Structure 1
Amino acid sequence: MDDRNHQMLVKVGRCSGRCWRDGGQSYLLEPLHPTVHTQRGATAILPCVLRTLPHNYRVKWSKVEPTNYRENIIIITNGLYHKNYGPLSPRVRLRHSHRYDASLTITNVALEDEGRYRCQLVNGLEDESILLTLHLEGVVFPYQPSNGRYKFNYHEAKQACEQQDSRLATYQQLYKAWTEGLDWCNAGWILDGTVHYPIINSREPCGGRLLLPGVRTYGARDKQKDRFDAFCFTSALQGSAVYFIRGHLNFKEAGQACRNHGAAIAKVGQLYSAWKFSQLDRCDGGWLADGSVRYPITIPRERCGGLPDPGVRSFGFPSKEMRTYGTYCFMGK
């Protein structure tokens, strides 16, 4: 970018957040789009462009974590040198397409990368920053173990979601899922340690018929002692596929059938992702990695459960010795 083009950017840029000025100009350009949409496995760029280069400045990128309200530093640069920090370190770099560019590049985007990021210019005692949101298109699903509902404390719920190729949902993700039709009467943990359940159709067992639809909340709970289900969030994974193998297989045979095809038995989150993003539609119950049997329906019909809405139906956790079902396999990239 030459200086003439950069001056044009200076004229159209606007100040964002708490701005300090040098000769009447703020240093950071406000991004045209404060939300960056991406997919799991992709490369995402969070824009941060300077108007001019002050003396002895630093640019600091950090991630705003909703679970502890802290900001974890990702990378710091002075324009010539930079240093990476934390678990994102191997997958981040500065784009640096020109000398005013401090944009952050995240490779192989993971589920835990979603959230808010701050680009902060530090110069002396004052600073200026912009906030951006990295958004993954995804799907929220309720999850409970084979021994019934309300068995997870917070830490167990978090681990259970991770074992199913997902993570605990944020409140924003759960709320969006409710607006898209998620109706579930069992309360579950979400990422910030609070407990909720989303209701579309008000009914007696779910708070009563007089309450309006909404995301009902139990508030913050004891993460060690209190027990609920979990609301998990997963996203599409580039270059992957879930497919069905027909047969009368027990659980062990189902896993072997997938391995015979160079695949693995699918996890619950992977089946939900295939249903949501690949429109996987089958009326056949199939084993999954957690020992449950489920099937995905995108076109509801009478002979496939009879329910009026699309969804992933469940037969629960039958005996693993039963030779009744096929299996869903996951082929990664």
Structure 2
Amino acid sequence: MNFTALLVISACFFSWNSAKYHHHNQDEDKELKYLLEPLVYAEVIARRGHTVVLPCVMRFKPSHYRVKWTKIEPPSQGVENIVLITNGHADKQYGSVGPRASLLRAHNLDVSLRLIDLELEDDGSYRCELINGIEDESVIITLRIEGVVFPYQSHHGRYRFTFFDAKEACAEQDATLATYKQLYRAWTEGLDWCNAGWLSDGTVNYPVLQPRPACGGDLLSGIRSYGPRHKTRDHYDAFCFTSTTKGSVFFIPGPFSSAEAERACRRDGASLAKVGQIYSSWKFQQLDHCDGGWLQDGSVRFPIIHPRERCGGIAEPGVRSLGYLGKSLRLYGAYCYR
């Protein structure tokens, strides 16, 4: 490692049982007057492609008001990330989320936000704000896209991505750069990785469960951070995040070269799987196969749900990589996506 790694231990920002809310009059002890505090659904969990409702309910309607839904985290660059504004009669949608957003209106006091066809970028925190002059108030709901974080490396080797390269590499593999919260959750679920990678906020981190000499020596387990790095001068790997897909991954036995594997997938009406797609099928469809197979990026991998001796004696479930091998090698099968 070229830099001293700092241990960053994060706490959960939202719980199932309470929501953060903000009063514009700065009186933090004052009860919410118009909006109900969401006692159960402060965090809503959904998967990519699904529909979700972020709850926001009024106790009663003031005579004149507007309700504004804003995506507040991760923060957007420069401008407020407004999703929808309503005056109770007409709604106006904004930005990339807006076309998929509407108010639920299950009853006369319901201003809950309904989002359809969820995308990976929809993950984050949203504010429901009732605007009524000096009595403005708001509640905050977190939408968590259920998914999986995976480390990703350039085919040229370790630490080759600028921030923008890393962002593009994740997108090419049907994923996005992971957020810090997503990496933290993955660490609590068992992700242990020595190589540092970019996150969506421009920081560089790596998660360690078992401290060892090759992973920063005697530092404690946790999310080790280099902090913000220069987005064009500094080079690292990437931590990518993906969720469910509309299709699924299946295996065709070889042996194939990379080009032969691609043709084999096409004969079955499919294409070589992307790395994010094989992780998604492993996570959500329990894809379990011992044989190495080519993927679209030229790597060879295999997914394991139930570790066993004949699968290399690997102790933990996961998607295992054999690396980027010569594409002319006729040794492996094909993982196809359809």
Are the aligned partners of 2:294 and 2:334 in contact in 1 as well (CA < 8 Å)?
Answer: yes
- 1:96-117 C-alpha deviation (Å, 9 max, x unpaired): 1222111111100111111100
What's the counterpart of residue 119 of structure 1? 128
Tell whether 2:22 aligns with 1:17: yes
Q: Residue 68 of structure 1: CA displacement?
A: 4.5
**Which ranges in structure 2 are unaligned for 5 or more consecutive residues?**
1-18
**Which ranges in structure 1 are unaligned for 5 or more consecutive residues?**
1-13
What's the counterpart of residue 312 of structure 1? 319
SS of the equivalent of 1:294 reads strand
Tell whether 2:264 aligns with 1:257: yes
Distance in 2 (CA, whole Å) between partners of 1:180 and 1:46 is: 26
Q: Residue 248 of structure 1: CA displacement?
A: 1.6
Matches within 5 A, 1:284-299: 284-299=291-306
Matches within 5 A, 1:45-60: 45-60=53-68
Are the aligned partners of 2:242 and 2:276 in contact in 1 as well (CA < 8 Å)?
Answer: yes
Tell which deviates more after alignment, 122-131 or 185-194: 122-131
- 1:197-231 C-alpha deviation (Å, 9 max, x unpaired): 111121112111x2221111101100111000000
What's the counterpart of residue 65 of structure 1? 73
With over 3 angstroms needed to count, the CA separation of the structure-2 counterparts of 1:67 and 1:158, relative to structure 1, is farther
Distance in 2 (CA, whole Å) between partners of 1:95 and 1:256 is: 46
Distance in 2 (CA, whole Å) between partners of 1:295 and 1:273 is: 13
Are the aligned partners of 1:65 and 1:72 in contact in 2 as well (CA < 8 Å)?
Answer: no
Are the aligned partners of 1:234 and 1:273 in contact in 2 as well (CA < 8 Å)?
Answer: yes
Give, as a single letter, the amino acid of the residue that structure 1 aligns with 2:22: G
- 1:55-103 C-alpha deviation (Å, 9 max, x unpaired): 2210000101325476400110000001111011221111112221111
CA root-mean-square deviation:
2.0
Distance in 1 (CA, whole Å) between partners of 2:278 and 2:47 is: 17
**After TM superposition, which residue ranges in structure 1, 4 or more long, deviate above 3 angstroms?**
14-17, 67-71
Tell which deviates more after alignment, 24-33 or 179-188: 24-33
What's the counterpart of residue 38 of structure 1? 46
What's the counterpart of residue 254 of structure 2? 247
SS of the equivalent of 1:303 reads helix
Distance in 2 (CA, whole Å) between partners of 1:67 and 1:189 is: 17
SS of the equivalent of 1:17 reads strand
Distance in 2 (CA, whole Å) between partners of 1:103 and 1:211 is: 45
Distance in 2 (CA, whole Å) between partners of 1:15 and 1:157 is: 33
Tell whether 2:307 aligns with 1:300: yes
Matches within 5 A, 1:1-333: 16-18=21-23, 26-31=33-38, 32-68=40-76, 71-208=80-217, 210-237=218-245, 239-331=246-338
SS of the equivalent of 1:259 reads helix
What's the counterpart of residue 10 of structure 1? none
With over 3 angstroms needed to count, the CA separation of the structure-2 counterparts of 1:323 and 1:15, relative to structure 1, is closer
Distance in 2 (CA, whole Å) between partners of 1:85 and 1:45 is: 18
Distance in 1 (CA, whole Å) between partners of 2:219 and 2:73 is: 33
Q: Residue 15 of structure 1: CA displacement?
A: 10
Are the aligned partners of 2:20 and 2:139 in contact in 1 as well (CA < 8 Å)?
Answer: no
Give, as a single letter, the amino acid of the residue that structure 1 aligns with 2:23: R
Distance in 1 (CA, whole Å) between partners of 2:267 and 2:119 is: 28
TM-score when normalising by structure 1: 0.90
Q: Residue 53 of structure 1: CA displacement?
A: 1.2
Distance in 2 (CA, whole Å) between partners of 1:59 and 1:67 is: 20
Give, as a single letter, the amino acid of the residue that structure 2 aligns with 1:318: L
Q: Residue 265 of structure 1: CA displacement?
A: 1.3
Are the aligned partners of 2:32 and 2:137 in contact in 1 as well (CA < 8 Å)?
Answer: no
